[in-house]
A and B are shown apart, each in its own frame.
Chain A
Amino acid sequence: MLWSYTKTSAFYLLVAVIVFVSIFPFYYAILTSFKSGTALFEVNYLPVHFSLDNYVSVLTTGVFVRNLGNSILVATSVVVLALFLAVTAAFALARVSFRGRGLLLMTILAVSMFPQIAVLAGLFELVRAFGLFNTPFALIFSYTIFTLPFTVWVLTTFMRDLPMEIEEAAIVDGASPWIIITKVFMPLMWPALVTTGLLAFIAAWNEFLFALTFTSSNETRTVPVAIALLSGASQYEIPWGRIMAASVIVTVPLVVLVLIFQRKIVQGLTAGGVKG
């Protein structure tokens, strides 16, 4: 009796530790973002200060709002582009058997494993040659390298699991592959498209290396770069309050989205990984 009681308590203690470690840093960032002035430099575990100064300062001075706009524009365009290219490609890869299909799938997976730094020099040249340097288009263009393989991969695994009877019926009715995709599969694929799109959106929203390299002025930066480079008057005066406020602003929408779609996201994440 005592033993089983101890075991249950140990289990719930472990659960509590997991939850605490997972949410404490974000909780502390929110706590810090509401502190201003010297309150920043006292350690508090519970909310005792409340001031919106940091939020006001981040949103009204500087170009953070512009950076937010850039991030939204880039991430949305990248998702639309990737989904558009991926849906048709996934149909071909999932539903039509042709020679070299396995190899092609492997190549696509290999591209998503590319170290981004390995294409940085070549992309830098391309971006400059196309005149895209320091514009959002440079990012929309370069982000395709990780969003496209990923969306193709996940949509292919989703499409492979759609029942073939539906497709056979459409073929009997004389539907062409294009009609099958747009009229038969698309309505069934909405959940998959939303999940994949959301994951690609998050990846584009968080990207740092390309954004840091292909933009050079404050106005064209995306939020991760803006947050990374947010600095005070000198190197030793890091504006922690403003950094935390900016961090909370860009993270809250993501956390909310992820919590709403958590089941779908877990499915999407594991679709690529665990099919061995």
Chain B
Amino acid sequence: MASTHSTIRIMPTGPGHPKRVRSELMRQRLRAAGWFLVPMLVALAIVAGWPLLRTIYFSFTNASLTNLDGAELVGFKNYLSWTVLKSGRVIWSGLLSDPAWWNAVWNTVRFAVLSVALETILGTVVALVLNAEFKGRGLVRAAILIPWAIPTIVSARMWSWMLNDQFGIINDMLMMLGLIDHKIAWTASSDTAMIAVLIVDVWKTTPFMALLILAGLQMIPRDIYEAAAIDGVHPVRTFWRVTLPLVRPALMVAVIFRLLDAMRIFDLIYVLTPNSAQTKTISVLARENLIDFDKFAYGSAQSTMLFLIIALMTILYIWLGKVRFDGGDR
């Protein structure tokens, strides 16, 4: 859609040699473009490309936090290895045989799927409300930006105070409404730790989702709704048959962005439910190994696996959905 105006078409400017002028101009622009791109590409190579390669390298070594330079290659030992005992028993080691790793994978996937599903549904509801015309719409839009503007760490601490078992206002509210008969230790209890994390994440991220979906909704021409109304189509049916199919591309982009974002969650869980096995995600586990437990190589292997999982998801999605993120011509 942007292909018509994303490149400049240069017209021959004078008599003489229009063709030569054109190509010279083009060459000058291309050269300038190259120089303009180099600083950014170098910066990205240093802060992203090189560290990523080093992380992958470390995952195949026995590096430790205090001995990065003396790291020796050990092959796939951090991922999977086995030793056969004399008795014939096989002992597996490496992260693929580590229950803590699979627990973290399960937590990450569970968190990502549940949070994004909830945020999509609630985000759609909020977006539909904001898309309607009513008095005070600007006020509502400003209000929903507040959770988005609050730093994650701050919202984690705010909510852990509200969800406090003894003095928390959430327990107080629920008791008052008669929904629970005893105070719940939301963040500490193993049954509710994930629920607590989901509550905070959904609260914080639904506004973002709602704004993306709203932008999609606003691109739908109003006369389609008018036509549906004149034909006497029930609004619910209009939503399923008209709104949803038209907003689907925007919705899918929002969902994939959020999903990839949710897969790497670290800060909220680190602060809200530290040391809870029910919420420990791959990022939290990997950092713990890298920095706190001095298992640098092992943590690098877990980081590399998370990178691979996310890369695979992205490739699969682009391939399946044939989504074009750039909107420009290739």
Contact = CB atoms under 8 A, between A and B. Distances in A.
Contacts of A3: none
A163 B290 CA distance: 50
Interface in A33-52: 40-43, 45
A274 B250 contact: yes
Interface in B4-23: 5-11, 13
A251 interface: yes
Contact of B250 (A106, A205, A276): A276
Given A227-B153, A273-B215, A43 B325 contact: no
A213 B296 CA distance: 13
Contacts of A164: 5, 8-9
B266 A259 contact: no
B287 A101 contact: no
Contact of B212 (A119, A122, A247, A269): A269
Nearest to B168: A43
Nearest to B32: A177
A23 interface: yes
Contacts of A251: 149-151, 154
A178 B36 CA distance: 9
B167 interface: yes
Nearest to A129: B68
Nearest to A168: B8
Contacts of B148: 258
B314 interface: yes
Interface residues of B, number: 114
A26 B270 contact: no
Contacts of B266: 116-117, 208-209
Contacts of B291: 124, 213
A224 B310 CA distance: 26
A25 to B, nearest CB: 5
B262 to A, nearest CB: 11
Nearest to B310: A115
Contact of B287 (A12, A41, A120, A177): A120
A202 interface: yes
Interface stretch (B41-49, B92-100, B113-121, B224-232): B41-49
B196 interface: no
A213 B34 CA distance: 35
A145 B47 contact: yes
Contact of B36 (A171, A177, A205): A177
A43 to B, nearest CB: 4
B15 to A, nearest CB: 15
B303 interface: yes
B306 interface: yes
A184 interface: no
A141 interface: yes
Contacts of B109: none
Interface in B202-235: 203, 207-208, 211-212, 215-216, 219
26 contacts: A18-B129, A18-B140, A25-B155, A26-B147, A26-B158, A28-B161, A95-B6, A97-B7, A106-B325, A115-B306, A117-B287, A118-B55, A119-B55, A123-B47, A126-B51, A128-B68, A152-B40, A160-B6, A206-B152, A208-B152, A208-B153, A224-B152, A225-B153, A228-B157, A228-B267, A269-B212
Interface of A: 11-12, 14-15, 18-19, 21-23, 25-26, 28-29, 32, 40-43, 45, 85-86, 88-89, 91-98, 101-106, 108-111, 113-126, 128, 141-142, 144-145, 148-149, 152, 157, 160-161, 163-164, 167-168, 171-172, 176-178, 202, 205-206, 208-209, 212-213, 223-225, 227-228, 240, 243-244, 247, 250-251, 254-255, 257-259, 262, 265-266, 269-270, 273-276
Interface of B: 2, 5-11, 13, 25, 28-30, 32-34, 36-37, 39-41, 43-44, 46-48, 50-55, 58, 68, 125-126, 129, 132, 134, 136, 139-159, 161-162, 164, 166-169, 172, 203, 207-208, 211-212, 215-216, 219, 249-250, 252-254, 257, 260-261, 263-264, 266-267, 270-271, 282-283, 286-287, 290-291, 296, 299-300, 303-304, 306-307, 310, 314, 323-330
Given A43-B168, A120-B290, A276-B327, 7 more contacts: A18-B144, A97-B6, A117-B283, A122-B58, A126-B51, A228-B156, A274-B253
